[in-house]
Amino acid sequence: MSINAIPAHVAVPSPPKPWILPTRGLTVFYGCAEMPRLSHYFLPHALIQGKNIVCLDGANRFDSLLIARFARQRGCEPSAFNERLRCARAFTCFQLTELLVRAPRLLESFPADFLIVTALPDLYFDEDVRDGDAFASFRCALLDLKRLAQLLPVAVFSGASPSLTPRRNFLPQLARQADCVWRFSVKEDHELAFAIEKPEQTRLAS
């Protein structure tokens, strides 16, 4: 796996997991500012299997050139990957919530096997948005995520930092709703580390 696409000081290991998209429910990946960028590394395994993926990109980090590089590294034409991807961008929390609301209609026209969402709840920490509006929009987003996770596997990639604002509970709320939670971090030797905080088995056994 190439590491040229992320900051040079972060070394990406090559484990068998978790670089595979979840096959059911809602999974949250968080803990590292580069999570929206790292979401790209979860795509090749699914795309090479012919799966369709929809990305709701709140981080404005979707990189078609990186996707093309992944395709060529695997002996595929970039078009073979691109035709299986659809990306819709959001630049505010309200736009991201609206994309989640409209996602079922998008899935009707482009049947997807996976849904990826970036910068949730990151966008909802915007200081230009009043607390009341941010809370209302975030509640709607959680409801729609729950509905979508019943239709197809959903993976949320959050680069949010700890917050001392009244919105500090947004990420814990998202994690509580998730079926599985992975935490990523950068160690002192600049290698990327990860740990599963909420195994999927928790949901399956309940």
3-state secondary structure the chain: CCCCCCCCCCECCCCCCCCCCCCCCEEEEECCCCHHHHHHHHHHHHHCCCCCEEEEECCCCCCHHHHHHHHHHCCCCHHHHHCCEEEEECCCHHHHHHHHHHHHHHHHHCCCCEEEEECCCHHHHCCCCCHHHHHHHHHHHHHHHHHHCCCCCEEEECCCCCCCCCCCCHHHHHHHHCCEEEEEEECCCCEEEEEEEECCHHHHHC
This prediction has a pTM of: 0.86
**Which residues are CB-contacts of 139 (< 8 A; sequence separation ≥ 6)?**
none
What's the pLDDT tens digit per position in 74-87? Answer: 999 999 999 999 99
Given the structure tokens 């580069």, which residue do they identify? 34
β pairing state of 180-186 and 85-89: unpaired
pLDDT, tens digit (0-9, with 9 covering 90-100), for 25-74: 999 999 989 999 999 999 999 999 999 999 999 999 999 999 999 999 99
| pLDDT value of residue 195 | 85
pLDDT of 174: 96
pLDDT at residue 202 in the model: 44
Sequence-distant (≥ 6) Cβ neighbours of residue 135 within 8 angstroms: 167
Answer yes or no: are the C-beta atoms of 29 and 184 closer than 8 Å: yes
